[in-house]
Amino acid sequence: MRVALFIPCYVDQFYPGVGLATVAVLEALGVEAEFPVAQTCCGQPMANSGCMDEARPLATRFVSTFEGYDYIVSPSGSCVSMVRNHYDHLVDPEDGIATAVRSRTVELSEFLLNVLKVKELQGRFPYQVGLHQSCHGLRELRLGPCSEVMSSRDSMMQQLLGGLRDIRFSQLSRRDECCGFGGTFAIAEEAVSAMMGEDRINDHVQAGTQVLTAGDMSCLMHLDGIIRRQKLPMRVMHFAEILSEAMGL
């Protein structure tokens, strides 16, 4: 199995530890992922702002960079969803290579559970963890349960973390609400974005969260800014970082 590691630009620039933790977890499970150095942005910031002409060459580059891999794994639900669900207007739908690359691009928890068939990871994490289910991962990749869908679905992130010894999960009053980041939404609608983020943090404070985790560092970046400004005793970690720390990698 030939696996490529797709690291989003904001992780590469601001949170490289998330990429390293992802590699550590994959290698512990016997996967040697390659990192194609030609990779750049997937084009999501441009597409979200309606700049399709600017996003198109990035989508084309993504396809050419990751062509030929069995799986393209990324620790970011929003970037994976961009490739899988929103390249329709950026690449030729009749292009078989582009179609293959898109279908093989998966989020980390998807890869661990659906491809590697991980049942339980050995490790210890003696903290109360609050899960933030990011919108793209939740509603576009179906990585967890959402309240507007009347059917049961397990959270993939919680499945992976739930096998760790001594971990506890916060019981939130609104477990699947948006954090308010939304990419350029946080710039265009700063006040609304900040208020939504504060609502999410207050829910975690009331629930006793010690470590706040998610599958998207973009959401956690937004929430961490609020945590730091309010000087709250709460850590922010990508779930790959929790796994890496708990497994002693």
d(CA 190, CA 211): 25
Residue 85 belongs to some domain of the structure = yes
How many residues appear in the chain? 249
Looking at this protein, which amino acid is placed at residue 71?
Answer: Y
pLDDT in tens, 165-214: 999 999 999 888 999 888 888 888 889 999 999 999 999 999 999 999 99
- pLDDT at position 191, please? 93
Residue 18 confidence (pLDDT): 98
Residue where a domain terminates, one of 91, 115, 139: 115
Domain housing 165: 128-246
Instruction: Report, as ranges of residue numbers, the positions in the chain whose pLDDT lies below 50.
Output: none
- d(CA 169, CA 91) in angstroms, rounded, equals 41
Q: Are residues 132 and 242 in the same domain?
A: yes
- Per the structure block, which two tokens stand in for 52? 């399709």
159 & 202 share domain? yes
Same domain, 192 and 143: yes
In a domain, 22, yes or no: yes
- pLDDT of res. 150: 62
**Closest to 40 (Cα-Cα) out of 4, 74, 86, 8:** 8
DSSP string, the chain: --EEE---HHHHHH-HHHHHHHHHHHHHTT---B--TT----SHHHHHTT-HHHHHHHHHHHHHHHTT-SEEEES-HHHHHHHHHS-TTTS-TT-HHHHHHHHTEEEHHHIIIIIS-------B--SEEEEE--HHHHHTS--S--TTS-S----HHHHHHHTSBT-EE---SSTT---S-TTTHHHHTHHHHHHHHHHHHHHHHHHT-SEEEES-HHHHHHHHHHHHHTT-S-EEEEHHHHHHHHTT-
Both tokens assigned to 106 = 């998966």
236 found inside a domain: yes
C-alpha closest to that of 174 among 138, 141, 142, 224: 138
**Is residue 122 in some structural domain?**
no
Residue 123 falls within a domain, yes or no? no
| CATH number of the domain encompassing residue 190 | 3.40.50
Residue finishing a domain among 72, 92, 115? 115
In a domain, 12, yes or no: yes
Same domain, 154 and 108: no
Residues 70 and 162 grouped into a single domain: no
Phi, psi of 96 (to 5 degrees): -65, -35
Is 120 a member of any domain? Answer: no
Residue 36 and residue 70 share a domain: yes
